[in-house]
Amino acid sequence: TFSASEQEFFASKGFTNEPGRCSDCRAARKQQRGGGYGGGGYRQRQMHPAVCASCGKDCEVPFEPRNGRPVYCSDCYATVRR
């Protein structure tokens, strides 16, 4: 059984199907999955060392820099992007 507030919540979100689990079971299942919000198990991105083409500062980027292509630190990238 679902409380009136739960029913209102599901209706306000536009959900048409009733939940298959009670709130305690949903909480237990969520905790089992790591308390997560879903989204899958993304692994940590590999970072690559680089030197900013604008300021010369050492930085790390989430891609492998190519020769001849400029790489910017986050501060300079924000400026160049504008």
pLDDT of residue 77: 92
15-26: per-residue pLDDT in tens?
A: 888 777 787 888
The pLDDT assigned to 40 comes to 60
- Taking the domains of the chain in order of start, what are their residue ranges? 1-35, 48-81
29 contacts 21 by C-beta, under 8 angstroms:
yes
- Cβ–Cβ < 8 Å for 70, 81: no
Residues 37-62 pLDDT 10s = 656 666 778 999 999 999 999 999 99
Please state, in angstroms and rounded to a whole number, the distance separating the CA atoms of residues 33 and 40. 10
What's the pLDDT score for residue 36? Answer: 59
